[in-house]
Structure 1
Amino acid sequence: MRAAILHAVGNDKLDIRDDVTLAPVGPADVRVRIKATGVCHSDLSAMTGVLPQPVPLVLGHEGAGEVVEVGEHVTSLKPGDHVVINWRPGCQECDLCLGGQPYLCIKYVVEAFSKGNFRFGGDGATAYGMAGCGTWAEEIVVPWQGAIKIDEDVSWEAAALIGCGITTGVGAAINTAKVRPGSTVAVIGCGGVGLSVIQGARLSGARTILAIDPLESKHELAKKVGATHAVTPEQVPDALNELTAGAGFDYGFEVVGKAATIQSAWQITRQGGDVVVVGAGAVDDMVSISAFSLLFEGKNLLSSLYGEADVRHAFPYFAKLHKAGKLDLESMISARIRLSDLNDAVAALRGGEVLRQIVVMD
Structure 2
Amino acid sequence: MRKIIAAVLTRAPGRLVTRELILSDPGPDEVLVRIAYAGLCHSDLHEIDGTFATTPPIVLGHEAVGFVERVGSAVHDLTAGDLVVTCLSVFCGRCRACVRGMPSICARRTWLASGRPDRLTTLDGRPVRPTAGIGAFAEMAVVHRNALVAIPPEMPLPTASILGCAVTTGIGAVVRRARVEPGSSVVVIGAGGVGLAAIQGARLAGARTVIAVDLVPEKLAAACELGATHALDGRGPDVVAQVREITGGGADHVIEAVGAASAVAQAMAMLTPGGVATVVGMVPSDPPIRLDGNDLFFLEKTLQGSFMGSNQFVRDIPEYVDLHLRGRLRLDRLVSDVVPFEEINKGFESLAAGRGRRIVVEIRPRKEDR
TM range (shorter): over 0.9
> Which residue does the alignment assign to 2:135?
134
3-state SS of the aligned residue for 2:128?
A: strand
Give the conservation status (yes or no) of the 8 Å contact 1:115–1:128. no
The Cα shift of 1:175 comes to 0.8
The Cα shift of 1:106 comes to 4.0
Please list the CA deviations of residues 66-124 of structure 1 after superposition, one character each: whole Å capped at 9, or x if unmatched.
11111111112111111110211101111111110110014242454574422234x13
TM-score normalised per structure 2: 0.93
> Which residue does the alignment assign to 2:354?
352
TM-score normalised per structure 1: 0.95
Q: Following the alignment from structure 1 to structure 2, what is the Cα–Cα distance between the partners of residues 261 and 163?
A: 24
- The one-letter code sitting in structure 2 at the alignment partner of 1:186 is V
> Which residue does the alignment assign to 1:47?
48
> Which residue does the alignment assign to 2:214?
213
The Cα shift of 1:291 comes to 3.0
Give the conservation status (yes or no) of the 8 Å contact 1:103–1:306. yes
Give the conservation status (yes or no) of the 8 Å contact 2:240–2:269. no
Q: 1:4 aligns with which of 4, 7, 10?
A: 7
> Which residue does the alignment assign to 1:81?
82
2:99 maps to 1:98: yes
Extract unaligned runs of 5+ from structure 1.
none
Please list the CA deviations of residues 19-41 of structure 1 after superposition, one character each: whole Å capped at 9, or x if unmatched.
22202311111110111111111
Q: Following the alignment from structure 1 to structure 2, what is the Cα–Cα distance between the partners of residues 52 and 110?
A: 18
2:263 maps to 1:274: no
> Which residue does the alignment assign to 1:244?
247
The Cα shift of 1:287 comes to 1.4
- The one-letter code sitting in structure 2 at the alignment partner of 1:242 is E
Q: Following the alignment from structure 2 to structure 1, what is the Cα–Cα distance between the partners of residues 205 and 295?
A: 29
Q: Following the alignment from structure 1 to structure 2, what is the Cα–Cα distance between the partners of residues 336 and 257?
A: 24
Give the conservation status (yes or no) of the 8 Å contact 2:115–2:133. no
Give the conservation status (yes or no) of the 8 Å contact 2:25–2:32. no
Extract unaligned runs of 5+ from structure 2.
365-370
3-state SS of the aligned residue for 1:2?
A: strand
Give the conservation status (yes or no) of the 8 Å contact 2:97–2:103. yes
Please list the CA deviations of residues 278-304 of structure 1 after superposition, one character each: whole Å capped at 9, or x if unmatched.
101123442122333311111121211
> Which residue does the alignment assign to 2:367?
none
Give the conservation status (yes or no) of the 8 Å contact 2:210–2:228. yes
Q: Following the alignment from structure 1 to structure 2, what is the Cα–Cα distance between the partners of residues 311 and 196?
A: 15
- The one-letter code sitting in structure 1 at the alignment partner of 2:32 is R
Q: Following the alignment from structure 1 to structure 2, what is the Cα–Cα distance between the partners of residues 241 and 84?
A: 40
Q: 2:18 aligns with which of 9, 16, 19?
A: 16
> Which residue does the alignment assign to 1:294?
296
3-state SS of the aligned residue for 2:127?
A: strand
2:225 maps to 1:224: yes
> Which residue does the alignment assign to 1:164?
165
Q: Which runs of 4+ in 1 moved over 3 A?
A: 49-53, 110-116
Aligned residues: 358
The 5-angstrom pairing of residues 150-189 of structure 1 reads 150-189=151-190
Give the conservation status (yes or no) of the 8 Å contact 2:189–2:257. yes
The percentage of aligned residue pairs carrying the same residue is 35
